[in-house]
Amino acid sequence: MQNVIQVFLGGTIGAILRYAIQIVVGTFGMLWIVNVIGSFLLGCLNGYFEKKESKLKLFFTTGMLGTFTTFSTYSESSFNMLIEGPLTGFLFIIGMTLASISAAFLGYFFIRGKKQ
Amino acid sequence: MSWLLVALGGGLGAALRYTVQVLITKVSMPSYWSTILVNLIGSFFIGFIASWEVNNQLVFSLLTIGLLGGFTTFSTFSYDVVKLVDQKQIWKSFVYVIVNILGGLLFFWIGWRF
């Protein structure tokens, strides 16, 4: 039960941050910012928590960053862009996926370092 | 008011996503299956809501941005790929990416036409 509460509280903060960014830069800019930065930070945190146990892990990872980033709006935007212009939509889909995965890689290996 | 609804929806979405993760682990399936499940289900429902064509700020804050935004996740998706590649499961990581992306588009469309 304590775990669910941690995840819930982290989720409220992640959602508020994402909403604030959406209000400032709009949906398209928001998707790039939250998904790339959120993937980078989740990579960093997972690298960090591998070396150091923490009771707050779920709050930050599954709760805050899991909620800060979003897939549902990404699917919706991808779908709409594909209909309006297949090439733009395709580039958007590939671009965001590669950027976010690369960011998670960088964050994770930057913090974790080489395995002993 | 909309901020409160976003926070509430986001918290609930995260708690639900965590519940799916715990259940998937309980039946001994790899945890990336829970990411696929939440992203496909979330994409279905966002398509479903998009088809209502209502412009209601409450629905938008609570359900679209809060609940579904929080239930689905892109960072865990990215990190799942990192883990798969780190375990040298290159082909599996490719298939995993394709399933999430094409599945998300397909389920959005199904929800929209539903």
- ipTM for the assembly: 0.95
Q: Encoding tokens for residue B21? A: 């993760």
Give CA angle at B79 (B97, A48), nearest 5°.
170
> Do A71 and B74 form a contact (C-beta atoms < 8 A)?
yes
Domains of chain B by residue range: 2-113
From B96, B73, B101, select the one nearest A79 (Cα to Cα). Answer: B101
Nearest CA in chain B to A13: B7
User: How many CB pairs below 8 A link A and B?
Assistant: 176
In chain A, which residue ranges form alpha helices assigned H by DSSP? Answer: 2-51, 57-58, 66-68, 72-84, 86-112
d(CA B78, CA A54): 22
Predicted confidence (pLDDT) per residue in A24-77, tens digit: 999 999 999 999 999 999 999 999 999 998 999 999 999 999 999 999 999 999
Q: Where are the domains of chain A?
A: 2-112
List all residues of chain B from 84 to 113 with a beta carbon under 8 Å from chain A: 85, 97, 100-101, 104-105, 107-109, 112
pLDDT band for B114, please (50, 70, 90 cuts).
confident
Contact A14 B76 (CB under 8 A): no
pTM: 0.95
Q: How far apart are CA A112 and CA A105, in angstroms?
A: 10
Contact residues, A window 74-113, toward B, CB-based 8 Å cutoff:
74-76, 78-79, 82, 93, 97, 100-101, 103-105, 108
Per residue in B45-75, pLDDT tens?
999 999 998 888 888 999 999 999 999 999 9
Residue in chain B nearest A82 by alpha carbon: B105
**Residue A63 annotated in ligand binding:** no
